[in-house]
Structure 1
Amino acid sequence: MNYLKEINAFYKKLEQTPLSGSAISLWHAFMNVNNLADWKEEFTVASWVVRAKAGLSEGTFKRARNELKEYGYLIHRARGSRLSAAYQMVSLQATMDRNVYDKTAPLVKQKKKQKEIVVVEGGPHSFYEQNMGMLTPFIAESITKWCEELSDELVMESMKIAVKQNKLLFQYCEGILKQWEKRGVKTVQTANLVEWESKKVPSRKSKKAANQSIFDELRAEGDKWITEKR
């Protein structure tokens, strides 16, 4: 890897796919470790070392690491509780060069490459790639798991909701899918009904706050009326 080119490619990618400040700090920390390891394709490092470099707590580190994995910046492989995890840095410069080549390649070559893609056109994996971000092996595996647990249609519907809410993380989709699974949702029609009901019926806390607000207004008006009458 060329360190400078990777940093330039990183910030160019950030313009299209923003990351949290924690994820940005963690990416730089991993890049520094990989540089010290002479850019090995796969390297191992203790989590506390990277956390110290990035200045992150354990919980924030795990969330930031998942963010980097989901957006295709990093590949993580656990090796057991007593061994340091193994990591691979995704070359962003190589990805950008490959994307430029794909756009300028002859039509025949593009069609040949499309045949090699396992993802079915119009399926959940394809929808994610076209509307939410880069389809990494980690995300692809999660999508496949939920398609098997529920259905392709429900996974696609959760993604549509996420896109409408501008929540372009599959973790958001998983939150929706977990709720549907808990409530025994099997069809898109039922899912839409559940979402509609959740928006229609306010929580008890909201009702209480609304009633309290109305009571305060009436009491204020009543006090004013009593004062004027006197």
Structure 2
Amino acid sequence: MKTWCESLSESLVVEAMKRAVEQGKQYWNYVDAILVKWEQMSVRDVKDARAKEIQFMFEKVHKRKLHSTGRRPIRPEKLPEWFTDEREAVQGNDEELEAEKAKLMAELEAYRERGGGGGVVM
């Protein structure tokens, strides 16, 4: 800590400690990482640290916007021909389907009348 105070300043060390506590990081390695970053950025005082942090956040958001707008649109999936042909065929056979349904219902009723229902209720 003494080395950082001599290298940067006491006010920057205290500011780094405050930021660490605000982030819930109450250990020295986090404070040390902040100070290393500030040293690399040539921060001179607390005001300069805040200004460079705001500039960094602005650039980060600006880069994110550039990257997000550069995405290619998602390619829409095309349905295969057999899917639509099959659906049209099923829709066209409504009369056949109703006739088959009536036939099965008649068979079910006859089965119940014979007493073969076994307690199954529909």
**Alignment TM-score, normalising by the size of structure 2:** 0.52
Q: Post-superposition shift, 1:205?
A: 6.9
Q: What is the distance in 1 between the residues matched to 2:58 and 2:47? A: 16
Q: Mapping of 1:143-158 within 5 angstroms?
A: 143-158=1-16
Cα offsets for 1:121-162 (capped at 9, x unmatched) = xxxxxxxxxxxxxxxxxxxxxx11111111110001111111
Partner of residue 161, structure 1: 19
User: What pairs with 1:82-93 in structure 2 (closer than 5 Å)?
Assistant: none
Identity value in percent: 32
- 2: CA distance between counterparts of 1:198 and 1:185? 13
1:9-24 equivalences in 2 (<5 Å) = none
SS in 2 for 1:201: helix
Map 1:82-121 → 2, pairs under 5 A: none
What is the alpha-carbon distance in structure 1 between the residues aligned to residue 27 and residue 70 of structure 2?
A: 37
1:188 aligned to which of 26, 46, 50 = 46
Q: Could you tell me how far apart the structure 2 residues matched to 1:169 and 1:201 are?
A: 28
CA gap 1:166/1:195 in 2 versus in 1, 3 angstroms: same
Structure 1, unaligned stretches of length 5 or more? Answer: 1-142, 225-230
- Aligned-pair CA distance for 1:171: 1.0
**Is 2:58 the counterpart of 1:200?**
yes
Q: Which has the higher strand share?
A: 1
- Say which SS state the counterpart of residue 25 (structure 2) adopts: coil
What is the CA–CA distance in structure 2 between the aligned matches of 1:192 and 1:173, rounded to whole Å? 15
Q: TM-score, normalised by structure 1?
A: 0.29
- Aligned-partner residue type, residue 156 of structure 1: V
